[in-house]
Amino acid sequence: MTELVPGGNMPLPAGAVTVRVPGPFDVSALITDDGGKVRGDGDFVFYNQPSAPGARLDGDTLTVDPPRLRPGATRITVVVSPADPGTPLGRLPAPALHLSAPGGRQLARFAPPRPQQETVLLLAEIYRRGGTWKLRALGQGYADGLAGIARDFGVDVTDDPAQPAAPAPPTGRRWSLPNLSRGRSNAPVSHGHSAPPAPSSRSTPSASSGHPSPAADPDGFLRLINPARARAGSPPVALDSRLTSAARAHASAMAAAGQLGVEGRDGVSVYQRVTATGYTYLTIGEHLVSGPRTTAEFVDYCLRGEQTRRTLSDPAFTHAGLAYVADGRSGDTFWTALWARPLTPGDLDRTAAEVVDLTNRERAGAGLPPLATDPLLTRAAQAHSADMVARAFYSHTDPEGGQPWDRAARAGSRRRTIGENIACGQRSAAEVVEGWMNSPGHRANILKPDFTHIGIGFAGGGPSGTYWTQLFGA
């Protein structure tokens, strides 16, 4: 079973799948086309209207059969709200989505960061990409109640005056994706595997950041954010024209689609747009927001939320880029702010050493000897992370069918037992090791007594940000 993080996605098997969200929640679904709008009120599946072509709601379980959806439907957005209207989700147990295949086989689980004052959560979306149906984890908080979110999807809603609506943000209705900045604390998508090896060889790509490219600041963004960073004890950031260019491209893609997302309708993620400009990053964060009318309103919004404020104030970032584009149809303004630190020549070795050190601390706490760094395992791990970024896949099995032990052997390793942990989306060595230790399968690899050596790889710029590989040998 796969553990998903916000922004993570996975292909779905043929046939109907079920999405279950247990707990004191109401599950709803909105059926839309690529434009993000319903065709009519019949495309809103909820407790008073529990079925539509291809979708059926039964209590806490939504069954979706994609080929049976109405003509033109390409997306089903799964929404959860408190069963008691108006209750902030932060007062309830954290919701968790369970995805099952036909026959009940568990496919995936998604537990987003705990919401705070939000009263609705866009939990996931089932969408068509080419001829394949996929599920993408979202975890987007929404403060304007179920009626507000339905209206934004084009549903005609009449409010029940007996049910008080949650207060909207002061500057109008907004959605945001602050937790996709990869500064989150939820468990990462990752896998653990062990098996015997076989032989061959592979090279490791090198990393280079290029030189910072200053950008003009016509909107006074730096004058607003750097004092806020100083108050948090963080150094100032400088605008970089490459980050600004990537932010503009992504804001334009969101405005064209009429909806927020880490991935545009063109299938390109915000992280891929950054690396396409020539900015190779060590760490990255972003704010994707709609609603603010001015730069001051946007910064004010980012400073009000705990997660958004943490990203804006993160001392790791040295550069930023900002862009906003209006959607001519709705009048909404879509904002993208990017925060990054460039990858310098010593960062690969430094970050890999930090992962090894944190891993060995966990082993020491369990009374196990430390793992020694193996240059051949390091070469194979770095090559796999770079390959996942370059070819936009996320798996222990590469597109040619190669497995961890195959990659280790191709790098020249003769170790008899090989294990691998992978993860994507984490912004630091500490965050990725913590995620692995919070997952039983990965923890078992880290604490396996038989392993004696380790290699670490990481690369940024894939659909989900930074991709990490931890390769063990004995």
Q: CB-based contacts of 67: which residues, under 8 Å, 6+ apart?
A: 54
Most confident stretch, 135-139, 271-275, 303-307: 271-275
**pLDDT for residue 83 is more than 60:** yes
Mean pLDDT within 260-278: 88
Tokens 């005056």, residue?
161
Whether 195 contacts 416, CB under 8 Å: no
pLDDT for the residue 155: 56
pLDDT for the residue 43: 83
Name the least confident of 261-270, 336-345, 419-428: 261-270
**pLDDT band, residue 115 (cuts 50/70/90):** confident
Mean pLDDT within 268-291: 92
d(CA 24, CA 22): 7
**pLDDT for residue 217 is more than 80:** no
pLDDT for the residue 154: 57
Mean pLDDT within 348-374: 96
Element containing residue 156 per DSSP (H, E): none
Task: Show the DSSP H helices in 56-172 as ranges.
Answer: 145-152
pLDDT for the residue 169: 28
For 170-216, write each residue's pLDDT tens digit. 222 222 222 222 222 223 334 444 433 332 222 233 333 445 566 67
Maximal C-alpha separation, the chain: 71
Two tokens, residue 426: 């984490």
**pLDDT band, residue 382 (cuts 50/70/90):** very high
**pLDDT for residue 22 is more than 60:** yes
Mean pLDDT score of the chain = 81
**pLDDT for residue 98 is more than 80:** yes
Query: Between 366 and 195, whose confidence is greater?
Result: 366
Whether 436 contacts 443, CB under 8 Å: yes
Q: Can you give the pTM of this predicted structure?
A: 0.58
Query: Between 166 and 429, whose confidence is greater?
Result: 429
Name the least confident of 90-94, 271-275, 342-346: 90-94
Name the least confident of 115-119, 204-208, 467-471: 204-208
Burial class (CB in 10 A: 0-12, 13-18, 19+), 117: middle
pLDDT for the residue 1: 65
**pLDDT for residue 163 is more than 70:** no
For 429-467, write each residue's pLDDT tens digit. 998 999 898 877 888 999 999 999 999 999 999 888 899
Cα 150 from chain centre:
24
**pLDDT band, residue 114 (cuts 50/70/90):** confident
**Three-class SS of residue 198?**
coil
| Terminal alpha carbon distance of the chain | 27
**pLDDT band, residue 307 (cuts 50/70/90):** confident
Buried b (16+ CB within 10 A) or exposed e, 136-171: bbbbbbbbbbbbbbbebbbbeeeeeeeeebbeebee
Mean pLDDT within 220-245: 95
pLDDT for the residue 71: 87
